[in-house]
Amino acid sequence: MLYLLTNRTRANLTGAQYAELAVLAKEFYASIPADVKIRGEWAAVDRSHNYTLLEAPDIDTVRRIQAPFEGYSETVIVEVTAISGWTAS
């Protein structure tokens, strides 16, 4: 299944909290679960948000790998499907 994650770093994090967030991110990228694939990542030009298209077996897996970041970012997770074009009826 595909999931689009929209992440916004929480306002007013301290320098120490940003450092902790960096450690968590490095740990995540170093040990992505075998059944999870990152299909793409983007950041808003102003760095206010980042977006990740993630392939995972289920929403519980996504929530589990996102949980360590909850104190540092607000995340919206939406299950998505690929479409091609638009047909008006």
CATH of the domain at 52: 3.30.70.1060
Distance (Å, rounded) from C-alpha 87 to C-alpha 54?
Answer: 26
Task: Specify the DSSP element, H or E, that contains 17.
Answer: helix 15-30
Q: What is the mean pLDDT of the chain?
A: 92
pLDDT digits (tens, 9 = 90+) for 17-40: 989 999 999 999 999 999 999 999
Domain assignment present for 11: yes
Residue 88's pLDDT band, with cuts at 50, 70 and 90, is low
In-domain check, residue 85: no
Read off the pLDDT band of 48 (50, 70, 90): confident
Q: Is residue 65 part of a domain?
A: yes
Output the pLDDT for position 84: 81
Answer whether 59's CB lies under 8 Å from 5's CB: no
